[in-house]
Structure formats: C-alpha cells, structure tokens
Amino acid sequence: MNYKDYIRIIPDFPQPGIKFKDITTLTNNGPVYASAIEAIRQAVSDKQIDLVAGPEARGFIIGAPLAISLGAGFVPIRKSGKLPGEVVEASYDLEYGKDKLAIHKDAIKPGQRVLIADDLLATGGTIATTINLIRQLGGEVVGSAFLIELGYLDGRSKIDGIDVFSLMTY
Ligand SMILES: O=P(O)(O)OC[C@H]1O[C@H](OP(=O)(O)OP(=O)(O)O)[C@H](O)[C@@H]1O
Ligand SMILES: Nc1ncnc2[nH]cnc12
C-alpha cells in the first residue's frame, strides 16, 4: 500500500511556508485507515504495551484504534484546561505556535509500559512533552509511533533513546 497517495498536502497552512500534511484524506477511507493502524500495530507488537497515550487532537485518531487493536488502554493527553481531574501540565513549542499539554495524575501507574501514538512527528515538541508528562507519573515510555514523520525537522533528535516508528517519511 502506498499510504502517501492518501495524504493531502496543503501549502501555506496554517501559516506561510508550512506544507500541511492532511491525514483526513487517509482516515476517511475505511480500508486504508484500518490497514495503516494494522501496520503500526505489527511494528510495535513485541513491546508488551499496557497503555497507548495520544496527544489531542490528532493523536486520538491514531492512538485510540491502535490501543484497541493491541488490547491496551488509551490515555488522552489533552490541551490545558480540558481534563476534569487533577493534572500535571507542561508547555512546549510547535512547528507553528506554542501550547500546553496535560495528563490526569492517576492516568498511569508507576511501571506501566506506555507507547505514544500521534499522526505526525514534526519538531518533536509534542512528543518530548508527552514523554516528560508520562515519566512524571512513573510510566515507562517503550516507544512512539506515527503515521508521518517530517524528517527535515529532525524531531527524533529531541527524543534520543526512544524507539520511533513512522509509516511515512517526508
Ligand atoms: O512535532 P511537533 O512540532 O510538536 O508537531 C507535531 C504535532 O502537531 C500537530 O498537532 P497540533 O498541536 O497542531 O494539534 P491538533 O492535533 O489539535 O491539530 C500534530 O498532530 C502533532 O501532535
Ligand atoms: N506540517 C505539518 N502538517 C500537519 N501537521 C503538522 N503538525 C506540525 N507540523 C505539521
């Protein structure tokens, strides 16, 4: 399957100079979406994963079906101000802009094995922040998985020592 055929590239969104990779043209095709999730599942299947953590919002689109296919739980990492319980929070920079992420303090028990899933790895700010939050709760980050990696932004260098799987690289 050539998954790139299903990614729509939108120039100058959300700001000039950004080539936005739109995954909705992949996820609106049921068999292609299912095949992409299954390919990621196979790539991480040896990791004995207890939980999949996905950052809001597009991390939910990949992380939740992946968690079900692995028989693991799903932990939402949300933008600040959205989670109702007690949280830990951290700020970070993006390819465009700045944001703050939060996780429920009781979402992960010390020692649980957590895979991070998202649609896209760009500068690595989101994933590095997500790793930081999971570790603050005592979770063990056993790897990360993405539909898309923007190799030219070298997000991998921000998360040295963590396995990265990406289905497509630009
Ligand atoms: O590697 P980085 O430079 O951190 O960028 C990658 C992140 O940016 C996008 O999310 P965004 O914050 O735009 O939010 P969204 O999922 O709500 O669209 C994308 O879904 C990743 O989570
Ligand atoms: N170029 C890009 N396309 C889609 N989502 C992104 N998130 C950060 N950079 C992005």
> Which ipTM did the prediction report?
0.98
Ligand nearest to the CA of 59: 1
**Which ligand 1 atom sits nearest the alpha carbon of residue 123?**
3
What residues pair up with 11 in beta bridges, in sequence order? 19
**Which ligand 2 atom sits nearest the alpha carbon of residue 20?**
3
Q: How far is the CA of 158 from the centre of ligand 2 (A)?
A: 17
> CA 126, CA 133: separation in Å to the nearest integer?
11
136-166: burial string, b at 16+ Cβ within 10 Å, e else? ebebebbbbbbbbbbeebebbebbeeeebbb
> CA 20, CA 9: separation in Å to the nearest integer?
6
Ligand nearest to the CA of 82: 1
CATH code of 91's domain: 3.40.50.2020
Give a yes or no: residue 130 inside a domain: yes
**Which ligand 1 atom sits nearest the alpha carbon of residue 99?**
12
Domain interval for residue 154: 47-169
Q: How far is CA 96 from CA 67, 103, 123, in A?
A: 28, 22, 10
The structure tokens listed for 24 are 């909705």
Give a yes or no: residue 145 inside a domain: yes
How many domains does the chain contain in total?
1
- Dihedral sign for Cα 29, 68, 134, 85, please: positive
Ligand 2 binding pocket includes 20 (Cβ within 6 Å): yes
Give a yes or no: residue 41 inside a domain: no
C-alpha Rg value of the chain to the nearest Å: 15
Pocket-forming residues, ligand 1, beta carbon under 6 Å: 55-59, 94-95, 99, 118-126, 155
Give the predicted TM-score (pTM) of the model: 0.96
Each residue's pLDDT tens digit, 109-155: 999 999 999 999 999 999 999 999 999 999 999 999 999 999 999 99
Confidence of residue 166 (pLDDT cuts 50, 70, 90): very high
DSSP label of 30: H
> CA 34, CA 6: separation in Å to the nearest integer?
13
Give a yes or no: residue 22 inside a domain: no
Q: Name which residue sits closest to atom 15 of ligand 1, judged by CA.
A: 57
Kindly give the pairing relationship between strand 113-121 and strand 140-149.
Answer: parallel
User: Out of 18-27, 91-100, 135-144, 157-166, which region has the weakest mean confidence (pLDDT)?
Assistant: 91-100
Give a yes or no: residue 29 inside a domain: no
Give a yes or no: residue 9 inside a domain: no
Q: Where are the alpha helices (DSSP H) in 45-112?
A: 58-70
Give a yes or no: residue 2 inside a domain: no
Residues acting as catalytic residues = 58, 95
What pLDDT is recorded for position 160? Answer: 86
Decide: 148 and 121 in contact? Cβ < 8 Å: yes
What pLDDT is recorded for position 93? Answer: 84
Give a yes or no: residue 144 inside a domain: yes
Ligand 2 binding pocket includes 21 (Cβ within 6 Å): yes
Q: Name which residue sits closest to atom 14 of ligand 1, judged by CA.
A: 57
